[in-house]
Chain A
Amino acid sequence: MSASVPTVGSWHRLDRAGLQAVIDVLWLVGHRVVGPQVADGAIVIRDLRGVAELPTGWLDDQDGGSYRLRHDPVAGTFDHVVGPHSLKNFLFPARETIASFVQLNGSWSQTPPPAQVPPLAVLGVRGCDLAALAIQDRVFLGSGYVDEPYKSRREKLFLVAVNCRRAAATCFCHSMGSGPAAGPGFDLALTEIEGGFACEVGSERGAAVLAEAVAAGASIGGCSPEEVEAARGVPQALAARMHARQQGDGEPRPRSLDTHGIRDLLMTNLEHPRWDEVAARCLSCTNCTLVCPTCFCSSVQEVADLSGDHVDRERQWASCFSLDHARMHGHSVRSSTAARYRQWLTHKFAGWIDQFDTSGCTGCGRCITWCPVGIDVTEEIAAIRASGSGAAPPDGAAPAGAPEAGETAS
């Protein structure tokens, strides 16, 4: 056994009581702790007090337009994958006041922003969602102006990641380079092993929390080199299975995406007939943008109290599928569903590369699962690649200068 003093890069063995101690420490030092739980027929992220609330024994079967929970006595605590929630719901909430104004004696003034919410700790974050966080960081922190509400929550965020050992049919993180191994950015990362969890320390704060849990009496030992190797092998084995399964004809169909030259492929096919074909199915319901962990569009509403003397400017998620998104002088620039679907897909997989030097997609598959008619981005892009102009051959070299989504997403 190696030394069990937690340091950045060290591995430790936790049983369920040890994980409970970590959760307790996080609450104790002032975090709001949230994690995956079964509610309303799905695995959602909400306040988490104890390991008993985690979805142990639950699996999620996902496919285009379909999400079903199934109990399996041999399933572990984190063998489900991603549900409709992501870090976005917490760091970039669906509604948020971004400025407030008050009127006194007929004159308005802007009031300081409200007191900050307590720091957040999220348990069960997957590789794809760590990648999504890095992408939203570029949007809100890295493009010149800083979004202060996002920044203040982001800086205090504590992340307990999980290395996936199972993938849903909708998962294609292996294509986007975002998983299944939890990439950089976590404070602690768990890998489910026989009898508990192997826990990798990713930051000084992670080490401190683990040390606190030990000090509180939790039984947290070191991992042997063999155990570390076995734990590292868990997501590696899953990645190998994901690459292998894309050759086969599984049911439901396992997803993958060829990202070679994807930016130029899409931007040279803005008039492809496929946009009209997908628009015939698309309901323009906005679900895909709501569950997407990177979609960042928003609009601002004026919210006044009854006196009319207090006004909050409330930022709300917006969607490029709504007519209001590109509305000008009473008409929408993108009045057709085909144009709105094209905007979403080309922004996510092409425009994003120009804007933020990364794909906007992490391969989490949520947009496929939560689309009521089961529209599948991987299928749409493959169709354009199969018949579009300037399509790069599947294994061909990307045009010079075109970043590869899969290489930059993490």
Chain B
Amino acid sequence: MSVSVSGAAAEKNPWRSHTARICTITPETPGVRTYELELEDPVERDHYRFAAGQFNMLYLPGIGEAAISVSSDPAGRDTLAHTVRAVGNVTDALARLGPGDQVFVRGPFGTPWPVAEMLGRDVVIVAGGLGLASQRAAILFLMAERACRSVTVLHGAKRPDGLLYGREYDAWRAAGVAVHTIVNEADASWSGPVGLVTDLLTDSLRDPSATTILCCGPDPMMMGVAKAAIGRGVATRDVFLSLERNMACAVAHCGLCQFGPLFVCRDGPVLPYERIAELLRIPQV
């Protein structure tokens, strides 16, 4: 009998990993580091392309694999940045590695942020904590492309030391990106606003009908942002969320990441809010 197979990925073994070296490790916030990885095989390095919002599976033999967003500029050709919080087996082991150490990479997987369709629009990027890691690539893409009317980054964290990529805000602002931060709990060092990232939304929605929201953070935070933005006039179809779920394969075979009828690894992680609003509303889907 013949078993028909179609699609560009048909002949690609999804379990094939590519060896990479850690070039630099940059401490970000407590427990969070950014790893710049270089694929060792020059052919792979040359062929590798990703779009902002996609993720890689980072693998350490004998330890395991973790799905991590690619945070670098999609136009970059040398290294791939991954910002990782040490919260489990694999990420704890990554935290013990240093420059020159080996990491395996397979990817990229998943859907990108819709940043290529932002001509003339206001783009508001809303990030809760480490969520900004998935959006840094989008920010760098939009900064370089200059097709949209404005880019605003609204970044909230629990405490001031949880704000990500602080050292880059000046460069983002110099390129025309508005950056606003807010924290839940202030400390002596903090003179900015205290509250939720949704509190920053109102001032950033000057022309809601021409605004696209790109949001990444914990599910309840993203639901709050989506509802607030839609309540202020942003079209439901212009709100995009990036979800996080358990994953083993990243190619819609292992089933672990299912969210209703969606495979978050393949149909996401970036999903239009209108497609998932009802599922997000129901607990434990």
Contact = CB atoms under 8 A, between A and B. Distances in A.
A109 B104 CA distance: 9
B39 to A, nearest CB: 13
Q: Which of B16, B19, B248 has the most CB of A within 10 A?
A: B248
Interface string B198-242: 000000000000000000000000000000000000000000000
Contact of B104 (A108, A148, A320): A108
Contact of B15 (A109, A271, A296, A313): A313
B255 interface: yes
Contact of B256 (A205, A326, A336): A326
A144 B251 CA distance: 8
B252 interface: yes
Given A146-B11, A302-B63, A333 B245 contact: yes
Contacts of A339: 283-285
Interface string B69-109: 00000000000000000011000000000000010100000
A339 B284 CA distance: 6
A101 interface: yes
B9 interface: yes
A318 B282 CA distance: 24
Interface stretch (A12-20, A39-47, A115-123, A347-355): A347-355
B248 to A, nearest CB: 5
Interface in A304-333: 304, 308, 311, 313, 315, 318, 320, 325-330, 333
B189 interface: no
Contacts of B7: 144-145
Interface stretch (A135-143, A174-182, A250-258): A135-143
A325 B3 contact: no
Main secondary structure, interface of B, reads loop
Interface of B: 1, 3-7, 9-17, 19, 61-65, 87-88, 102, 104, 244-246, 248-249, 251-256, 258, 260-261, 263, 266, 282-285
21 contacts: A99-B15, A101-B62, A107-B102, A110-B104, A141-B3, A141-B5, A143-B252, A144-B7, A144-B251, A145-B7, A145-B9, A300-B65, A302-B63, A318-B256, A328-B244, A329-B88, A334-B284, A334-B285, A336-B284, A339-B283, A346-B260
Given A101-B104, A110-B16, 10 more contacts: A99-B17, A141-B3, A185-B1, A187-B1, A270-B282, A298-B249, A302-B63, A326-B256, A328-B244, A330-B88
